[in-house]
Each structure stands twice: as structure tokens, then as C-alpha cells.
């Protein structure tokens, strides 16, 4: 299946799966599987941002960890500039680890408290490049400037920074080795709302200047609306709708996307309807519902939905939806 018809995507994910075995007993026999990611496909073109949204347990963070190769895929492929990184052994992963950098939710936990800010940003340069100390210092100073941190801040420790400055430092560390893809997992959700906008604007400016490609993982639709080009809506390990941002926010087609937008703090009034509000919890990914996984919460469920799994289909240019209601479009 092809999603977005870009000739040369930076990242192409095809039928990605991550199933965690559940083991019991002395012999650690496998008794079940948690299908955290279960057949996810998408592409991201250079200089674009794909946002993955969904409730907790949807699998969006696991997708990020798979792309970073922090965990190994059960099946499927992850192609970075055409190279399938799921097939690379530990020794061959070095170039991948340089080209894909990450920014996490909690900058304080992800920055070594014993290192100065300059050392934190210099660490990936030391790991991945052979620069003289003068060249390294110049690179560190340049990325500090790019993220809006003053040169004097290089000698300070993470605890001396505010939350927003710490996230700027985490972004500087990611930028230090000139990555082609940044995976950002809830990078602003620990920050005050006023600071969130500053960090998002910084990410947008850097993207424009450096042609960066982002996979941005968030549960916050306000944040996603600010930064995304395309939005992938995830539910129980699957993408149920993927489309350009404007289409998702003005005319979401999947009932789950409609419910998410109806539940957002500043929703589009057209979708603020009682019958679109989500009820109940997300079912367990160990035992997902039969047929359409959303059928236990969907206000439009039919008998067919309970038995037949809808495929993710293109319903209009660049718009893909997995719902029986949309199959005749």
C-alpha cells in the first residue's frame, strides 16, 4: 500500500508490526501477544512533518521507538532514504543512529545532569564524527545559536535551565550531527502552554531553514494543528485515517478522528455533537475486538463492522481511511 505519492520519501514505513509476547509459567511459555503496532504504513517527504495522534495505548510511541531502532520490529520494513533499517545488524546501524535523532517529552530526564550543556551537545558529535576539538567547539556554538541559546550557557548544567531552555538544549543535541529525520515524542507536553508555542515555532523555523523532516508524536490536537503537514490517526496499533492536516481538521472521515476532534479543548463546533463523543476505554491490544477494532466504541457500528476488518483505502487524493462507511466514496 502506498501512502502519499512522493518520489523519494525520507522515511517509508511498510506494514510495520510490533507484537510483544506475553509469557507465563516456569517455562516462560508464550500465552498471548500484545499487538502494540499491527500493520502501520506511511511515508514522509523531505521537509515535511507527519504527526501521529491517538489516545494512550494506540501504539504511536512504539512506532517512534521502532524507527529509532530502540526496539526491533516483529515484521514490516522501515526505509530511511531507501535502506531498510530493520535488516541492519548492530554494527551497521551507526549511520542510521546519526541520521535519525530524537527529542523526548521530558528534557530533564533525557539530559545527563552531570554534564555541562556544551558537553551534552558535543557528545553525539564525538560519537559519530571525527572533528578536531576546534571544529567541534565551532559546531556546538553554531547549534546553540540556531536554537536560541547564548554561548555562555555552554558551561551551565541542565538544572540551571528552565523547562523551555532544556528542550532547546535537547533540540540542539539532536541537530548537532545534521540528522535527516527527527522523531519527537510529545516534545512539548511537559512545558507550560506559553513556552510550548515558542518551542513549536523554533521547530518550524529549523525545519524551514534546514529542510528537516519530522515524525511528531502527540496526543494534543492543538499542538498537532500548529506543526503538522499530514496527520495519521492511530487506534489500537493501526492507522485508521491519514490525510493532510487541513482535511483532518475540517472534514475528518473516520468516526474515531471525528470523536477526537469533538473531544479537543477547542474543537471545531461542527463536530461538537453528543453522538461523536468517545465513551468507554480503549480495548486491550492483547485481545483487540474482532472486525473493526473501533466497533466497541463507534456510534455508527453495523453487523458487518463486528466481523469484517476495514482496510485502509484511498478515498480521495492523499486521504486514506479504514472504515466501511467510506468504502463507496
CB under 8 Å to 203, separation ≥6 — which residues?
A: 171, 184, 187, 214, 227
- In the bound state with ligand SF4, the residue whose beta carbon lies nearer, of 90 and 328, is 328
Q: With respect to ligand SF4, which residue has the nearer C-beta, 260 or 305? A: 305
Q: Which is nearer to ligand SF4, 94 or 306 (CB)?
A: 306
Task: For the sheet with 83-84, list strands across it.
Answer: 29-44, 11-24, 75-80, 83-84
**Those residues with Cβ within 8 angstroms of residue 252's Cβ, 6 or more apart along the chain or in another chain:** 233, 241, 258, 260, 261, 271
Site string for ligand SF4, 125-154 (x = CB under 6 A): ------------------------------
Pairing of strands 49-53, 230-235: parallel
**What are the distances in angstroms from CA 267 to CA 153, 253, 261?**
40, 15, 6
Q: How far is the CB of 326 from ligand SF4 (least distance, A)?
A: 7
When the beta carbons of 46 and 308 are compared against ligand SF4, the nearer one is 308
Site string for ligand SF4, 281-320 (x = CB under 6 A): -----------x-xx--x-xx---x----x----------
Whichever of 202 and 325 has its CB closer to ligand SF4, that residue is 325
Among 35, 96, 245, 324, binds ligand SF4 (CB under 6 A): 324
Whose Cβ is closer to ligand SF4: residue 112's or residue 307's?
307
Restricting to residues 196-235, name those near ligand SF4 by CB under 6 A.
none
Taking CA atoms, 33 is separated from 16, 61, 135, 150, 289, in Å, by 15, 18, 49, 49, 14
Rounding to the nearest 10 degrees, give the CA dihedral for residues 45, 145, 98, 76: -30
Among 206, 234, 261, 323, binds ligand SF4 (CB under 6 A): 323
Scanning 28-36, 135-143, 225-233, 321-329 for contacts with ligand SF4 by CB under 6 A, the matching segment is 321-329
Binding of residue 242 to ligand SF4 (CB under 6 A): no
Query: Rounded CA gap, 54 and 90, in Å?
Result: 31
Closest distance between ligand SF4 and the C-beta of residue 135, in Å?
55
Tell the residue number behind the cell numbers 526491533, with chain if given.
72
Contacting ligand SF4 within 245-284 (CB under 6 A): 254-255
Residue with smaller CB distance to ligand SF4, 23 or 307? 307
Q: Is the CB of residue 16 less than 8 Å from the CB of residue 41? A: yes
We find the least distance from the C-beta atom of residue 1 to ligand SF4, in angstroms, to be: 18
R_g of the chain, CA atoms, integer Å? 21
Q: How far is the CB of 37 from ligand SF4 (least distance, A)?
A: 19
Q: How many residues bind ligand SF4 (CB under 6 A)?
A: 13
- Reported as type and span, the H/E element at residue 230 is strand 230-235
Say what the alpha-carbon torsion angle 239, 243, 246, 250 is, to the nearest 10 degrees: -60
We find the least distance from the C-beta atom of residue 53 to ligand SF4, in angstroms, to be 16
Contact residues for ligand SF4, defined by CB under 6 A = 254-255, 292, 294-295, 298, 300-301, 305, 310, 323-325
Amino acid at each position: 500500500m502506498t501512502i502519499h505519492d512522493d518520489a523519494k520519501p525520507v522515511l517509508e514505513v511498510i506494514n510495520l508490526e510490533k507484537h510483544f509476547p506475553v509469557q507465563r509459567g516456569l517455562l516462560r511459555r508464550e500465552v498471548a501477544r500484545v499487538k502494540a503496532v499491527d500493520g502501520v504504513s506511511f511515508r514522509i517527504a523531505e521537509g515535511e512533518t507527519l504527526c501521529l495522534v491517538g489516545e494512550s495505548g494506540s501504539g504511536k510511541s512504539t512506532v517512534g521507538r521502532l524507527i529509532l531502532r530502540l526496539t526491533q520490529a516483529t515484521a514490516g520494513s522501515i526505509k530511511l532514504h531507501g535502506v531498510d533499517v530493520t535488516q541492519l545488524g548492530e554494527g551497521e546501524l551507526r549511520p542510521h543512529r546519526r541520521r535519525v535523532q530524537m527529542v523526548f517529552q521530558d528534557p530533564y530526564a533525557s539530559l545527563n545532569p552531570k554534564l555541562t550543556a556544551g558537553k551534552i551537545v558535543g557528545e553525539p558529535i564525538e560519537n559519530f564524527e571525527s572533528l578536531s576539538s576546534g571544529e567541534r567547539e565551532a559546531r556546538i556554538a553554531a547549534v546553540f545559536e540556531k536554537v536560541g541559546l547564548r554561548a555562555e550557557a555552554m558551561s551551565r548544567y541542565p538544572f540551571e535551565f528552565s523547562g523551555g531552555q532544556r528542550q532547546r538544549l535537547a533540540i540542539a543535541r539532536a541537530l548537532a550531527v545534521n540528522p535527516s529525520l527527527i522523531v519527537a515524542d510529545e516534545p512539548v507536553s511537559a512545558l507550560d502552554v506559553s513556552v510550548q508555542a515558542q518551542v513549536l515555532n523554533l521547530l518550524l523555523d529549523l525545519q524551514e531553514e534546514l529542510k528537516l523532516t519530522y515524525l511528531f508524536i502527540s496526543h494534543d490536537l492543538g499542538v498537532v494543528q500548529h506543526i503538522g503537514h499530514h496527520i495519521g490517526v492511530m487506534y489500537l496499533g493501526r492507522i485508521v485515517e491519514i490525510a493532510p492536516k487541513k482535511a483532518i481538521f475540517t472534514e475528518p472521515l473516520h468516526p474515531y478522528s471525528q470523536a477526537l476532534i469533538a473531544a479537543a479543548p477547542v474543537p471545531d463546533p461542527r463536530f461538537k455533537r453528543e453522538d461523536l463523543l468517545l465513551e468507554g476505554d480503549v480495548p486491550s491490544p492483547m485481545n483487540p475486538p474482532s472486525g473493526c477494532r473501533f466497533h466497541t466504541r463507534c456510534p455508527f457500528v453495523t453487523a458487518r463492522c463486528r466481523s469484517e476488518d476495514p482496510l485502509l483505502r484511498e478515498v480521495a487524493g492523499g486521504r486514506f481511511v479504514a472504515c466501511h462507511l467510506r468504502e463507496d466514496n
